[in-house]
């Protein structure tokens, strides 16, 4: 079975997907981490994210792999959020390096390119072949796995998403009771970046951000993580029951 989780930046896709994987026998595929890893390599090499031909050459030789993070992993000193997985690009661990503000600002530019998306989609499909997968991203239910048995499109108010992202960058847990933003200036920048990224993702020609026609919509603005997880697990059980009939 494939559970596809799509939605804009900061809607809670990663947290939801990790918890779903934790409560099931499914493997978590963070497609966003793949684009982030590619973006990081380009930035490290001084490559303009807008230069499709050069970025494409990097993508063609990109080897992405994942490994489970140790239980109880703490957030790092820079405030990068725990991913629940270790991420490797060409044999080098990039788990924390792909969660910086610089990568945030450039990843949508890399993902704009149609040829890059084709390369990454093929890598994602190879990863998922013959496995039970929870995959999250922005075009999972529409392009990568249109055959997914469960398709979920997360949404949330942009300010709520900026709040979550800011708290994570500050080293906090946005799902914890009483969690609040400390750096108001960073929040405002994050809010502006999210609005900009939403616009880029929604308007790009290749695989624009939009829900699949058969996706279930889930607004997480006022939901706890546990509530969101329970909702998707119920949808998955219903899908299994329907398939068994």
User: Please, are residues 6 and 136 in contact by the beta-carbon 8 Å criterion?
Assistant: yes
Span 3-7, mean pLDDT?
96
pLDDT tens column, 200-211:
888 888 788 899
**What is the chain's mean pLDDT, rounded?**
89
Q: How many CA atoms lie within 13 A of 180 on its CB side?
A: 3
Q: Delineate the domains of the chain, giving CATH numbers in brackets.
A: 2-244 (3.40.50.300)
The arithmetic mean of pLDDT across residues 149-155, rounded, is 96
Distance separating the N- and C-terminal Cα atoms of the chain: 16
What confidence category does residue 82 fall into, taking pLDDT thresholds of 50, 70 and 90?
A: very low
Residue 75 has pLDDT above 70, yes or no: no
Interval 212-231: pLDDT, tens: 999 999 999 988 899 999 99
- Report the C-alpha gap between 100 and 168 in whole angstroms: 11
pLDDT band for position 181 (50/70/90)? Answer: very high
pLDDT of res. 67 = 86
Return d(Cα 228, Cα 28) in angstroms, integer: 16
* Mean pLDDT along residues 145-161: 95
CB 17 within 8 A of CB 220: no
Share of the chain above pLDDT 70, in %: 93
- CB distance 110 to 39 below 8 Å: yes
For residue 96, give the 3-state DSSP assignment: coil
Instruction: Report which of 216, 202, 204, 196 is spatially closest to residue 154, judged by C-alpha positions.
Output: 216
Within 10 angstroms of residue 177's Cβ, the number of other Cβ atoms is: 6
Instruction: Note the pLDDT tens digit of each residue in 118-134.
Output: 999 999 999 899 889 99
Residue range 21-38: mean pLDDT, rounded: 91
pLDDT at 106: 94
pLDDT, mean of residues 137-164:
94
Q: What is the pLDDT of residue 5?
A: 96
201-205: long-range contacts (C-beta < 8 A, 24 or more apart)?
Answer: 201/8, 201/9, 201/108, 201/111, 201/138, 204/108, 204/111, 204/112, 205/114
pLDDT at 78 over 90: no
Q: Strands across the sheet with 92-93, in order? A: 64-68, 85-89, 92-93
Average the pLDDT over 144-171 and give the result: 93
Token couple for 216:
């279930």
Q: Is the pLDDT of residue 79 over 80?
A: no
pTM: 0.81
- Taking the C-alpha atoms of residue 179 and residue 36, their distance in angstroms, rounded to an integer, is 26
Confidence of residue 169 (pLDDT cuts 50, 70, 90): confident
């Amino acid at each position: 079975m494939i559970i596809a989780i799509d939605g804009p930046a900061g809607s809670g896709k990663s947290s939801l997907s990790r918890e779903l994987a934790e409560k099931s026998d499914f493997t978590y595929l963070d497609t966003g981490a793949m684009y982030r890893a590619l973006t990081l390599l380009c930035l490290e090499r001084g490559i303009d994210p807008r230069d499709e031909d050069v970025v494409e050459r990097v993508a063609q030789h990109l080897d992405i792999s994942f490994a489970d993070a140790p239980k109880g992993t703490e957030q790092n000193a820079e405030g990068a959020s725990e991913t629940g997985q270790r991420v490797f690009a060409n044999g080098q661990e990039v788990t924390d390096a792909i969660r910086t503000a610089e990568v945030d600002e450039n990843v949508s530019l890399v993902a704009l390119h149609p040829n890059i998306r084709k390369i990454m989609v093929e890598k994602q499909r190879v990863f998922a072949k013959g496995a039970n997968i929870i995959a999250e991203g922005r075009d999972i239910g529409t392009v990568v796995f249109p055959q997914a048995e469960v398709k979920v499109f997360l949404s949330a108010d942009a300010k709520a998403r900026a709040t979550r992202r800011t708290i994570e960058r500050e080293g906090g847990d946005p799902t914890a009771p009483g969690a609040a933003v400390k750096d108001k200036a960073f929040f405002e920048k994050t809010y502006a970046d999210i609005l900009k990224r939403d616009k880029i993702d929604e308007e790009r020609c290749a695989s624009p951000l939009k829900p699949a026609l058969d996706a279930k919509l889930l607004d997480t603005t006022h939901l706890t993580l546990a509530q969101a997880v329970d909702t998707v697990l119920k949808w998955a059980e219903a899908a299994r029951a329907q398939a068994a009939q």
